[in-house]
A and B are shown apart, each in its own frame.
Chain A
Amino acid sequence: MFPGSAHLLYVYLAVVSQQAFDILGSRTGKCSIMVKANVAKMRFMLLFSRQGKLRLQKWYTATAERDKKKMVRELMQIVLARKPKMCSFLEWRDLKIVYKRYASLYFCCAIEEQDNELITLEIIHRFVELLDKYFGSVCELDIIFNFEKAYFILDEFLMGGEIQDTSKKSVLKAIEQADLLQEEDESPRSVLEEMGLA
């Protein structure tokens, strides 16, 4: 935009009269619909690396396999191409994409147009905190090798796309309880298994 037109715009904005707004007021019906429910009604959440490798995917609405692949590919391309100082929100298809990069991993959520982007950003952050607490300084490798654990944590945190528990402690408690069984159960047998396989 060249400076002249900016000036022009300035002038036009300044002469916008009250009357004009009254006319507009009744016109834009979208405004009233904008307040929509579902604080964190999420369509899907993706975790992928800077290299474009998918690390985790969770779909909260029924999507065909083929579409999933296409969407993941498209989205990775878009998000990876963004520069660091850019907005964490994106409009993509009819969805709002909220993403954040942690170290080498991108966390990426799709929400509906009218949802609160900031709170979604914080959902991502809380998830990272949970992972961090659980794995102890989480890194991408933890998630690569223990992705099923990451899924368990996510399921305990978000249920059907809605935030389930905001208390960090109780999320981890639930996971650890289940894990505890695993530990007891695992150690004696895994040796046997190793031997049997070797």
Chain B
Amino acid sequence: MSDVVEKTLTALPSLLSLDSQPGSAKLSSNSKLGNLIRGITELTSKHEEEKLIQRELLLIKEQVSSPNTTMRQMKELMVRAIYCEMLGYGVSFSYIHAIKLAQQGNVLEKRVGYLAVSLFLNESHELLLLLVNTVLKDLQSTNLIEVCMALTVVSQMFPKDMIPAILPLVEEKLNHPKEIIRRKAVLALYKFYLIAPNQVQHIHNKFRKALCDKDPGVMSASLHIYLQLIQENPEGYKDLAPSFVTILKQVVGGKLPMDFNYHSVPAPWLQIHLLRILSFLGKNDQSTSEIMYEILDESLRRAEMNHNITYAILYECVKCIYTIHPKSDLLEKAAKCIGNFVLSPKINLKYLGLKALTYVVQQDPKLALQHQMTIIECLDHPDLIIKRETLELLFRITNDQNVTVIVEKMLDFLRISEDDHTTIDLVGKVAELAEKYAPDNEWFIDTMNTVFSLGGDLLQPDIPNSFLKLLSEGFDSVEEDKKLRLFAVNSYISLLQRDASKLPQRFLQVICWVLGEYSHLREDLEPDVIVRLLAKLLDMKSSSSETKCWVLMAMTKLCPGGAALALVHNVSETYSSSLDTMLRQRAQELEILSQDSELQAKVLPRSASMEPVEVDSSLSFLDGFVSEALAAGAAPYKPPHQRQEELSRSKALNLEPYGLSLPISMSSCSITDRQSPTLLSISSGLSGDSTDFSHKGSSTVLKLDGVKRLWGRDGYLAQKEPTEEAPRIEAASPVRSADQLGNNNSQTPTPTPTPECDQEKQQLASSLFVGLASQSSICLMGKSDQPSQRFRRKTKASGSSEQITNPLVFPSDGSDNLLYKNLLDSPDLDGSPPEQTPGLDAPNGACDAEEESTDADMKEIKTPPIRDEHVTAEASPHHDPDRSKDPSLTSHLPAELSALPHSKTTTLFSKQNLDVSACHVQKEDSVVLVVFISNCSDSFLQQIRLQVDSEELEVSCVSDSPSEELKSHSVAVCQYFLTVKRPSVHFDLSATVSWQPPAGSPLTTQFSYRLPLTAFIRALRLSTEEYGAKWLAFSHDTKQNLTLIQGGRDPLAATLDVLKRKLQLHVVEVIGVEAIVACCLQQDQPCLMHCRMHAGMLAVWLRSPVPDLPDCLLYCCQRALQEL
């Protein structure tokens, strides 16, 4: 901004004396705000400022709460409050008044009120609910400015739960004559889509209308929505690709009003939006990509001006070109472009060039080679961010040949980096590379040593974990394993011999473990020596008690005879009186085991770290002790969460908390005092997201907080609970193996491999020295958090569009087509003479369970002849007239479905020589409804049309039986894909069939078909760890006690078996009296179940991200168990 005159604060006094300023801006030097500001600038110390502001705040506080304050004064006060808050002082007392101002003020006061609200509050603030009515009122106002303000605040922040209240009004604004209102409404809807996508599902066609708006501003606002939608589901919007290309052509061609130019570049933001959209649409899609080549070429050509904005467009263009289906001459141009960026003397462009290079380097490695000199220069760049980006690039081109150099560079950077985030990230990457490409043992151990020392305690816990895993599991060759371990031992001994006090705790723990396990490999060294080295660690002031536990563990393993025994004895004595329970435990173990070498060898067998440890998770060995204690009058044990819950619900609601997601059970006597189980279903969500409840008043919120702390995201309280009670059980619990080493003083730090990990481990192992890691799955380091989130999001997106992604399905979104092609494809079909089928046995129990509920209501309505020009008339690919005489309708099942489990074929109605029957087929990932229409008459039936609809289900036609007429005694088969829109216990489909008998007027009949929820439930195969992670993330839950199936030795197993058989649930793990079970509703909607046997009942707790799903599933379980 060249024309801005630089005026600094030094000029302040003289400026303040000026009465008027040019332009519409006046320095309100006379106002109170002016005085305040001036007052502050004159001060010299922070302390004085604080005093002044506190005084000011008192004044404001007094005035805002005074009834005599007019709205006009209030406005002024709010501005001052905003200013004070910006300086960092709390003004929470004024929040409510800001809302009041927005509510009661005139337009101008309102404006300040809304501004203050939007600056003070955020969308989860409970006061925001008070704003809802004001927003409602203003949305209906005739004053445009008020409507604008309401829309602005709505898009800034709005409580999610209240969206339905204002949605119709905002939607209405899409048709407003003023473009500014339409634009803001579109953006508000975009915001709604982001925070609550399902609530705006129904208005997708309105988005299309916004895209076609004659005002470019509205159109470009609608691109925000499309960008989001297309990113989530590119398949659903392929038909729009030509439109986007056309828009981009017009923009690039300068067809927009000059207003939209920015530095004589036409609507650059719009261009970038479009380029992003195109790259999503063209990804992995040659035909769609082909229509964009021309415009991409033109964009590259046009963006020649030497200005940041053109570079921004070019950058986006290049990314698009490398994302879509490749075209060689475009790639060439894009590569040249990247070259220009990288070589640019402007540092911002250089940075972007490196970023682009990082992006494309996989597809075009030569490009990196071309610019290698620049890359090397960038490595030495004084600006760290450039260096960092260069390392990112190098990280991507690392292989087993260059790994040593690249890792060296990364470590160099780590040594100077001060930013924690960068350190964590980079350390993870180094560890990843080291594991993947390490050329030899020495290098690997040295590198990991540096990683541990540099990463310090910021290190992601999985880095030491996987390092230790790697050491303990070893590789194919025993010899090689031994060498590696020996090298590690040697290196650690020499580290400890020097000054160990500077080493981070995590590193020390790793050292302890390795020395404990493998120092025996050094045959020349007496264990005494190691023990002495370790003992030194205990004396260090910096050692945390966690580290000390590891030291004691290692000592226990070494268990020397001879000279060091006295030392060991000394140590165990010192720590057996420690305040830290863990430490005391370890000291006891050390004490006992060091005296009994036979027992030691049994408990800690050498080179058996791979064997899983048998654990009595029910702690039955304590039963005697506990019952004795109880008999002696001790209070029964209550786990901390129960205690807290009781506190937070002093009104003695029977809440029946039972074990956490962890498969750790308390011994049975610990629960003897619990109230008898009742069939009580605690409202789902009590332990869920507290935002859901924020409108219920503060008292509820308070209570919820207490609960949330237990069960919420960070609520793994059970991790601590068993530690106190009995640390022994922890080691075997695979749920926690991920952070076990890092966070817990578990007694046995030996990794206990579960079968699930084995494969991964092998992969890891093989990837280490061979250097041929081909799977990205080995990226264990650092980034584990983010990708999993992304992944979840992705699956969700693709799931909701399941019907579209299926290649069989015509991508029909009725509304879309209405607008663009005027092509409505309703499922039409013909029928032919029927064969009455005796019920067929469904091979699958799940279908049987609800069979009797399949009812067939029908109403017959005479309608005038129906003409529909859209009736499609092709022969059904699955229709085989030869088979029509087959007595079984199931023989008409399309070939690809006949092998799958299907329900009994139910006759829905039979009238006028027309029989309609249906059954549903359970495919792996979906449910298909198959409708058989049979013509039992001797004549043709014409104009047969079938329409299927449901409120809870998404119905999409796979193949409609398309002949308009049905020959005599033939059967037409129609298939519909069913996807769950929202869970319910039963899904009712209503269908209408109309036909034209040979003589007489057309007939229409309605009938319904009912499917049980079980038809949609599939097993969800999870590991216990995944289960644990998911459990915490899900917010909707429900709890209930179910009857156990009695008889047999193991009622839990029997009950689970029934559930597994009938509902296809997947039993993840059974531990003692507890079990964790998982299932999902069509892939992307998981539901987790935790069962615990208790007092002859099965206490189940279901959790899911989908509302209602737990309740519905619970009902199904109940039914399944009752029906036995």
A57 to B30, CA, bound (A): 25
- Inter-chain contact B315/A118, CB cutoff 8 Å: yes
From B4, B119, B365, contact of A132 by CB (8 A): B4
- Inter-chain contact B119/A13, CB cutoff 8 Å: no
From A69, A159, A165, contact of B155 by CB (8 A): A159
- Inter-chain contact A148/B115, CB cutoff 8 Å: yes
B397 vs chain A, min Cβ distance (A) = 6
- Inter-chain contact B86/A54, CB cutoff 8 Å: yes
In the complex where A12-B401, A13-B369 touch, is A166 in contact with B8 (Cβ < 8 A)?
no
Q: Does A144 contact B (CB under 8 A)?
A: yes
- Inter-chain contact A20/B401, CB cutoff 8 Å: yes
In the complex where A23-B399, A93-B421, A128-B1 touch, is A155 in contact with B362 (Cβ < 8 A)?
no
Contacting A at CB under 8 A, from B1-58, are: 1, 3-9, 12, 15, 21-30, 33-34, 37
Q: Does A35 contact B (CB under 8 A)?
A: yes
- Inter-chain contact A152/B272, CB cutoff 8 Å: no
Contacting A at CB under 8 A, from B298-334, are: 308-309, 311-312, 315-316, 319, 323
Stretch at the interface among B216-224, B523-531, B851-859: B216-224
- Inter-chain contact A128/B4, CB cutoff 8 Å: yes
- Inter-chain contact B82/A147, CB cutoff 8 Å: yes
Question: Contacts of B376 on A, CB cut-off 8 Å?
Answer: 6, 9-10
- Inter-chain contact B27/A141, CB cutoff 8 Å: yes
A169 to B261, CA, bound (A): 11
Question: Contacts of B228 on A, CB cut-off 8 Å?
Answer: 37-38
A149 vs chain B, min Cβ distance (A) = 7
Question: Contacts of A65 on B, CB cut-off 8 Å?
Answer: 90
A146 to B262, CA, bound (A): 26
Q: Does B260 contact A (CB under 8 A)?
A: yes
- Inter-chain contact B15/A141, CB cutoff 8 Å: yes
A18 vs chain B, min Cβ distance (A) = 7
A48 vs chain B, min Cβ distance (A) = 10
| A1-45 Cβ-contact flags toward B at 8 Å (1 or 0) | 100011011101111111011011111111101111111100000
In the complex where A35-B276, A152-B111, A189-B72 touch, is A1 in contact with B380 (Cβ < 8 A)?
yes
- Inter-chain contact A174/B312, CB cutoff 8 Å: no
A151 to B37, CA, bound (A): 17
- Inter-chain contact B280/A122, CB cutoff 8 Å: no
From A29, A88, A137, contact of B5 by CB (8 A): A137
- Inter-chain contact B790/A33, CB cutoff 8 Å: yes
- Inter-chain contact A116/B312, CB cutoff 8 Å: yes
Chain B residue nearest to A58 (CB atoms) is: B119
The DSSP consensus for interface residues of chain B is helix
A8, A37, A104, A149 — most chain B CB neighbours (10 Å): A37
Question: Contacts of B348 on A, CB cut-off 8 Å?
Answer: 87-89, 117-118, 121
- Inter-chain contact A49/B388, CB cutoff 8 Å: no
Contacting B at CB under 8 A, from A88-109, are: 88-94, 102-104
- Inter-chain contact B315/A165, CB cutoff 8 Å: no
From A25, A86, A116, A137, contact of B316 by CB (8 A): A116
Question: Contacts of A178 on B, CB cut-off 8 Å?
Answer: 107-108, 111, 145
Top-3 shortest CB links A-B: A136-B23, A62-B122, A118-B312
Sample of 18 more A-B contacts, CB < 8 Å, known A9-B405, A146-B28, A164-B221: A5-B405, A10-B372, A13-B375, A14-B372, A21-B362, A24-B362, A26-B775, A27-B774, A33-B790, A39-B273, A50-B8, A69-B88, A103-B7, A104-B8, A156-B152, A164-B183, A166-B268, A167-B257
17 A-B residue pairs with CB within 8 Å: A9-B379, A16-B369, A20-B401, A28-B776, A29-B787, A39-B224, A69-B88, A91-B419, A116-B272, A116-B316, A136-B25, A141-B15, A142-B21, A145-B33, A164-B183, A166-B267, A189-B72
Which chain A residues have a beta carbon within 8 Å of chain B's beta carbons?
1, 5-6, 8-10, 12-18, 20-21, 23-31, 33-40, 49-51, 54-60, 62-63, 65, 69, 85-94, 102-104, 116-119, 121-122, 125-126, 128-129, 132, 134-142, 144-149, 151-152, 155-156, 159-160, 162-170, 174, 176-179, 181-182, 185, 189, 193-194
Which chain B residues have a beta carbon within 8 Å of chain A's beta carbons?
1, 3-9, 12, 15, 21-30, 33-34, 37, 72, 79, 82-83, 86-88, 90, 106-108, 111-112, 115, 118-119, 122-124, 145, 148, 152, 155-157, 180, 183-184, 187, 190-191, 217, 220-221, 224, 227-228, 231, 257, 259-260, 262, 267-270, 272-273, 276, 279-280, 283, 308-309, 311-312, 315-316, 319, 323, 347-348, 350-352, 359, 361-363, 365, 368-369, 372-373, 375-376, 379-380, 382-383, 385-386, 388, 396-402, 405-406, 408-409, 412, 419, 421-422, 772-776, 778-779, 783, 787, 790
